[in-house]
């Protein structure tokens, strides 16, 4: 269709859907309303007040006192980009733990900034073995940073970090952690486990549209970045400049995504009202119940229970069932979105998100009914009544 002056286009197809895939999750209604509040200037004292408050809220959710806490002006991927862009110097040796697509992506991003990347891997669906990392650290004492994904969105693994943090800091290295799918759903112990560089996205457990990347930097790492002799090879995400915009001197850098900042502010208020601990507990108990439902349906989980992420559950789809067709059925009949596999898991698994507002008995009941129907329609028998009974805790 050729567009011509004076034309009016038909309605946008933005019908409400239930987003229970790997992200985005549904935005909270309060967050959507916040986005449509009147725009004010990006250097207006009222907006600077909103930025300050948002930083305090981020510190609450990240559980940190890091002054260098802010929202980067891009999606979660911009958080990963910012983390590596500010950290890497040309030829710097870094160790990256790869246990899924997002760890793999880290190696690509870091390499572009000239890093010499050492990979510590584990099969998709399993966490990194600390012993493997210990060996890499021993073999590469000149490495400066260890990068790892806390919650692997491609597999549903929650990576334990206690032991890893200890060995990274004993070796005097920095710890860089991707928390895109964990922040707001499970504990992200920035301070307790001494994460040096931590980033997330807004569209997962924060229930906010995509467009900002929460990021927090330890004082030790911040000092190191501020003393870099080679400028950061990315003007837009240069923390040395951005920290002056979020800091006291309010130095103009870019125009903050104003209405997205309202949205994030509201999303974080909602978390504060519920409280971190209560929220994590809700995610855990709902996820554990949902795992039992899947068991009752005879579905095989991808991840061993003790490494399973409460905000994102993965299971193998039954032999002979076209997983993409099941997802299409869910969308067409129930307007429910769940995700398929990425990389080597493509066509083999489903990824189901119980994130924020969607970690909820009503949404889980609806999803259970819809999933049972979809599998039954694809020749895999599920007893809907039995599955729902599990959900009701019987």
Sites for a second copy among residues 330-359 (CB under 8 A): 331, 337, 342
Whole-angstrom CA distances from 99 to 157, 348, 371 are 8, 17, 28
Between 13 and 227, CB nearer to a second copy: 13
Cα(192)–Cα(198) distance, integer angstroms: 13
Q: 195, 262, 290, 375: which one contacts a second copy (CB under 8 A)?
A: 262
Q: To which residue do tokens 């009752």 refer? A: 296
User: Using CA of residue 198, residue 204, residue 206, residue 209, what is the dihedral sign?
Assistant: positive
The number of beta carbons lying within 10 Å of the beta carbon of residue 197 is 27
Q: Is 116 in the site for a second copy (CB under 8 A)?
A: no
Cα(290)–Cα(316) distance, integer angstroms: 15
Q: 253, 308, 350, 363: which one contacts a second copy (CB under 8 A)?
A: 253
Between 109 and 287, CB nearer to a second copy: 109
Q: 93, 233, 282, 348: which one contacts a second copy (CB under 8 A)?
A: 233
Cα(226)–Cα(263) distance, integer angstroms: 30
Comparing C-alpha atoms, which of 120, 124, 78, 122 is closest to residue 96? Answer: 120
Binding segment for a second copy (CB under 8 A), chosen from 264-272, 299-307, 311-319, 367-375, is: 264-272
Q: 67, 163, 191, 274: which one contacts a second copy (CB under 8 A)?
A: 274
Sites for a second copy among residues 34-93 (CB under 8 A): 34-42, 44, 46, 49-50, 53, 56-57, 59-60, 73-78, 80-81, 85
Q: 104, 165, 198, 265: which one contacts a second copy (CB under 8 A)?
A: 265
Cα(355)–Cα(366) distance, integer angstroms: 15
Q: 255, 322, 360, 376: which one contacts a second copy (CB under 8 A)?
A: 255
| Nearest-approach distance from CB 212 to a second copy, in angstroms | 9
Between 165 and 203, CB nearer to a second copy: 203
Contacts of 250 (CB under 8 A, 6+ apart): 43, 48, 244
Q: How many CA atoms lie within 13 A of 138 on its CB side?
A: 6
| Contact pattern for a second copy over residues 153 through 192, marking x by CB under 8 A | ----------------------------------------
């Amino acid at each position: 269709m050729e567009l011509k002056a004076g034309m009016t286009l038909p309605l946008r197809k933005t019908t409400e859907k239930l987003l229970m895939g790997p992200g985005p999750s549904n935005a909270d209604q309060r967050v959507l309303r916040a986005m449509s509040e009147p725009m004010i200037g990006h250097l207006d004292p009222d907006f600077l007040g909103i930025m300050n408050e948002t930083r305090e809220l981020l510190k609450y959710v990240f559980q940190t006192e890091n002054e260098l806490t802010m929202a980067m002006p891009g999606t979660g991927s911009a958080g990963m980009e910012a983390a590596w862009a500010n950290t890497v110097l040309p030829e710097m040796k870094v160790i990256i733990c790869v246990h899924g697509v997002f760890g793999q992506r880290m190696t690509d991003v870091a390499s572009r900034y000239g890093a010499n990347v050492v990979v510590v891997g584990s099969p998709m669906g399993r966490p990194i073995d600390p012993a493997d990392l210990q060996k890499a650290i021993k073999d590469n004492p000149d490495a400066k940073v260890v990068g790892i994904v806390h919650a692997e969105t491609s597999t549903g693994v929650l990576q334990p970090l206690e032991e890893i943090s200890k060995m990274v800091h004993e070796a005097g290295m920095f710890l860089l952690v991707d928390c895109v799918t964990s922040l707001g759903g499970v504990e992200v112990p920035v301070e307790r486990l001494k994460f040096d560089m931590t980033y997330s996205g807004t569209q997962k457990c924060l229930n906010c549209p995509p467009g900002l990347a929460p990021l927090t930097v330890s004082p030790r790492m911040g000092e190191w970045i501020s003393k870099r002799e080679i400028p950061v090879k990315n003007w837009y995400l240069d923390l040395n400049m951005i920290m002056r915009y979020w800091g006291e001197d309010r130095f103009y850098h870019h125009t903050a995504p104003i209405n997205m900042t309202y949205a994030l502010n509201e999303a974080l208020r909602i978390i504060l009202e519920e409280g971190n601990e209560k929220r994590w507990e809700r995610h855990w108990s709902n996820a554990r119940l949902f795992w039992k439902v899947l068991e009752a349906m005879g579905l095989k989980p991808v991840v061993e229970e003790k490494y399973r992420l409460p905000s994102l559950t993965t299971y193998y789809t039954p032999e002979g069932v076209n997983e993409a067709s099941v997802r299409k059925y869910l969308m067409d009949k129930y307007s429910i979105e769940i995700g398929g596999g990425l990389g080597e898991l493509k066509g083999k698994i489903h990824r189901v998100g119980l994130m924020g507002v969607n970690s909820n008995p009503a949404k889980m009941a609806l999803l259970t009914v819809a999933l049972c129907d979809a599998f039954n329609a694809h020749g895999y028998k599920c007893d809907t009544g039995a599955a729902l009974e599990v959900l009701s805790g019987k």
